[in-house]
A and B are shown apart, each in its own frame.
Chain A
Amino acid sequence: MIETITIDKLIDSVKDTVVEWRRYLHQNPERSFQEEKTSQFVYEKLESFGNLELSRPTKTSVVGRLVGNRPGRVLALRADMDALPIQEENDFEFVSQNPGIMHACGHDGHTAMLLGAAKVLSQLKDQLCGEVRFLFQHAEEVPPGGAMEMVKAGVLDGVDQVIGLHLASPIPTGRIGVGYGPVSANCDVFTLSINGKGGHSSQPDTAIDPIVISAQVVSNLQSIISRNIATNEKAVVSVTQIHGGSAQNIIPQSVQLNGTVRSFNPKVREEIPKLMERIVKGITEAHGATYDIHYEFGYSSVVNEEILTRQMEELIGEVLGKEFILPLEQGTMMGSEDFSAFSDVVPGCFLMVAAGNEEKGIIYPHHHPKFSVDEASLEHGVKLLVHAPFKLNNKE
């Protein structure tokens, strides 16, 4: 058994490099499915560590396999690498150099932490049981997402468990959020067209007014959550876009309604589009209109497997201290994550690494033009990733 002191020394030696990598990545953000320079950077770093078997399952993703010299389980560690179409408004020296593109969700930090862990673990091949598979994923931000592509490419073949970390600016550095069961929501999207009959606004009797019908549809949709879904289930139906009309004196031909549906329970997820269509059909028929609905299932809910999550919670206590453990209630995060593409296949655990710091002005929410992460948190993530295989891979 390897001594914790040895590991911690190695982590200590990589700490500043991780911050540098994060800053490099922050300066050079790339959008989903276009992470060419990012993935090249990651590939070259991994290659430089030695002991890693590298592959590129898709054009802009990278996988590194580290096979230990002792038998044991296979643990996958995942980081996402893509940035967002946001113009950064920070003014630090490593601000984005790509106009209109920004790492505003912490993926730069995720990638840097996993690179740091890979560097440390690649030096511990002899002590390592089983295998650690480093998954550097592209395109988390744009459905259908990169995770699904990687799974299809076989990156989980032989994998027993998967762990992912997400930096979280709303929680002050020094905590790790642990949730059991569903920790992110199923996130689905719909586009709906209410088709009436256009005409002159002075002659509503010759038209079928899609604006008024759309208003009725939006009102009627509210009763799905209030009346049809059990109160102990969590779900959100939001109509987020209404587009109709081109002139003040014209009743338009159709109105476009778009929105998102979030849920946790798969049954609720299946039920909501049926209820939605029933309402849309009934209300449009009530007024002689028609509709086209397109419902797209997006990322599934990330469900943290209980045994693995308990072990990770123990590990947080052992490696960082019990005071780091921050229990998260279900529904804390109604956002969505395509980590579920991995955790739907093998038991997974997705943890929130607190990275907010009011004193440093790191107070902005994710996807904000002034979003940032407290770099002190990166070490916490690296520690968890490095220690995880030693806790999880030994079959005895």
Chain B
Amino acid sequence: MLQPNVDNQKISAIKDTVKEWRRYLHRHPELSFHEEKTSQFVYDQLVSFGGLKVTRPTKTSVVATLIGSQPGKILGFRADMDALPIHEENQAEYVSENPGVMHACGHDGHTAMLLGAAKILAEMKDEIRGEIRFIFQHAEELPPGGAQELVDAGVVDDVDYMIGIHLMSLLPTGKVGIVYGPVTANSDMFDLKIVGKGGHSSQPENSIDPVLMAAQFITNIQQIVSRNLNPKEQLVISTTTLQAGGAKNVIPESVQIGGSVRSFSPEVREQAVSFIERIAKGVTEAHGGTYEFHYQYGYSTVFNDKDLTKIVEECVTEALGENFVEYGEGAMGGEDFSAYLQKAPGCFIPVGAGNAEKGIVYPHHHPRFDIDEDALEHGVRIFVQAAKKILG
């Protein structure tokens, strides 16, 4: 039987190492699907811990398996490792050494925390009933994403529970978000080509004006959210790119429209697709044009399992204290942690890492984004406590 409380000595001993790892990773960010040095670093560390079976299911991902002393459930922990194509504007001594590439979403911290947890848990093998799978995932930032590749490689086929942590700069350090139900959104994109008939701007009657049709399309799709959607549901449709024309006196042949569609429920997601296309069809037919519609399903909603989230909530209180839990609602961001949830129930945990006093106030994906390193310990403690509670 495991002790209910985390071993403070073990955590304290590794705290500074986790921070160092995070700083190393922050200095050496790599873009999605190109996490070669990062994954090698992770691989080397995991091997050095001993007691773990370390594999590379894809070129830049690493999975470490910890087999407990007795049989039991299989618990998957996930950290993502990729950075973003952003040029860092921070002044910290650990600033990115790769121009134009930056850890601006906290994945450096995610990786460091999970390494820390792996090191501690590797030493507690005898107390584990079952198995822990430490999943160091590549390419979270770039659809179709690394998670699906790892799922396809069978990494979570037999996993019973999945847990992932995301550091949040807009949540203060000392708070951990507990969300029941949807945490992130279905995050899809569409491309629509509206095809008219080009011509001279002085003779609109000989043309079919695709710019006008595009304007009507954009106006008309506003009705999907305002009129077609059940008010209690959430859906965001944004037309984010619009390109047409090469000369001011030429009616172009076609207009290219791009947009993003965010939703939580699978039903709303499907409704949005069919409503968008129905409007594209109707508006273009109304003016004698045609269209080509391409819908890309992106990351699905991360949906937190109720029972597992209840356990995680208890872990947070046990490992960190009474005042850490901050109940939250889903936000419209996208996360490929959802790919694992096709195989097992999961819980995705936002961990507060913002600190106004330290100037850590910038949002994710900002060139001055940073995390409060004091939050790293919280993440490590949650992983360790979850392992003890679920596999103890």
Q: Which residues of A contact B (CB under 8 A)?
A: 202-205, 207, 209, 212, 216, 219-220, 223, 226-231, 278-288
Chain B residues closer than 8 Å to A282, beta-carbon distance: 281-287
Does B359 belong to the interface (CB within 8 Å)? no
Chain A residues closer than 8 Å to B220, beta-carbon distance: 216, 283, 286-287
Shortest Cβ gap from A202 to chain B (Å): 7
Main secondary structure of the interface of B (DSSP, over half): helix
- Given contact pairs A216-B220, A219-B216, A219-B219, A209 touches B227 in the complex (Cβ within 8 A): yes
Q: Which of A205, A207, A286 has the most CB of B within 10 A?
A: A286
A283 and B204: CB pair below 8 A? no
**Among B93-101, B179-187, B228-236, which stretch is in contact with chain A?**
B228-236
User: Given the complex of chains A and B, what is the CA–CA distance between A16 and B154 in angstroms?
Assistant: 108
- Show 6 residue pairs from A and B whose CB-CB distance is below 8 angstroms, ordered by the A residue: A204-B228, A227-B204, A282-B284, A283-B283, A285-B282, A287-B282
Of the candidates B203, B207, B230, B286, which one forms a contact with A281 in the assembled complex, judged by CB atoms under 8 Å apart? B286
- Given contact pairs A282-B282, A284-B282, A286-B220, A227 touches B227 in the complex (Cβ within 8 A): no
Name the residue on B nearest A288 (C-beta): B278
B212 and A205: CB pair below 8 A? no
Chain B residues closer than 8 Å to A288, beta-carbon distance: 278
B231 and A204: CB pair below 8 A? yes
A285 and B227: CB pair below 8 A? no
Does B205 belong to the interface (CB within 8 Å)? yes
Binary per-residue interface labels of chain B (229-258) against chain A in the complex, 1 for a CB within 8 Å, 0 otherwise: 111010000000000000000000000000
B216 and A220: CB pair below 8 A? yes
Chain B residues closer than 8 Å to A287, beta-carbon distance: 220, 223, 227, 278-279, 282
Shortest Cβ gap from A305 to chain B (Å): 28
Q: Which of A231, A282, A284 has the most CB of B within 10 A?
A: A282
A283 and B286: CB pair below 8 A? yes
Chain B residues closer than 8 Å to A226, beta-carbon distance: 204
B281 and A286: CB pair below 8 A? yes
User: Given the complex of chains A and B, what is the CA–CA distance between A278 and B282 in angstroms?
Assistant: 10
User: Given the complex of chains A and B, what is the CA–CA distance between A106 and B313 in angstroms?
Assistant: 87
User: Given the complex of chains A and B, what is the CA–CA distance between A172 and B281 in angstroms?
Assistant: 55
A230 and B283: CB pair below 8 A? no
Shortest Cβ gap from A222 to chain B (Å): 10
Shortest Cβ gap from B205 to chain A (Å): 4
Of the candidates B202, B205, B231, B287, which one forms a contact with A202 in the assembled complex, judged by CB atoms under 8 Å apart? B231
User: Given the complex of chains A and B, what is the CA–CA distance between A280 and B226 in angstroms?
Assistant: 21
Name the residue on A nearest B207 (C-beta): A227
Shortest Cβ gap from A245 to chain B (Å): 15
Does B335 belong to the interface (CB within 8 Å)? no
A279 and B287: CB pair below 8 A? yes
Tell me which residues from 174 to 219 in chain B have a Cβ below 8 Å from any Cβ of chain A. Answer: 202-205, 207, 209, 212, 216, 219
- Given contact pairs A216-B220, A219-B219, A227-B209, A286 touches B229 in the complex (Cβ within 8 A): no
Shortest Cβ gap from A288 to chain B (Å): 7
Of the candidates B216, B233, B281, which one forms a contact with A285 in the assembled complex, judged by CB atoms under 8 Å apart? B281
Shortest Cβ gap from A281 to chain B (Å): 7
Shortest Cβ gap from B230 to chain A (Å): 4
A223 and B226: CB pair below 8 A? no
Q: Which of B233, B282, B284 has the most CB of A within 10 A?
A: B282
Chain A residues closer than 8 Å to B51, beta-carbon distance: none
User: Given the complex of chains A and B, what is the CA–CA distance between A219 and B220 in angstroms?
Assistant: 11
User: Given the complex of chains A and B, what is the CA–CA distance between A203 and B227 in angstroms?
Assistant: 8
Chain B residues closer than 8 Å to A227, beta-carbon distance: 204-205, 207, 209, 212, 287
A283 and B205: CB pair below 8 A? no
Chain A residues closer than 8 Å to B212, beta-carbon distance: 223, 227
A286 and B227: CB pair below 8 A? no
- Given contact pairs A283-B282, A286-B282, A228 touches B216 in the complex (Cβ within 8 A): no
Does B392 belong to the interface (CB within 8 Å)? no
User: Given the complex of chains A and B, what is the CA–CA distance between A185 and B8 in angstroms?
Assistant: 92
Top 5 closest A-B pairs, CB basis?
Answer: A286-B282, A282-B286, A282-B285, A205-B230, A285-B282
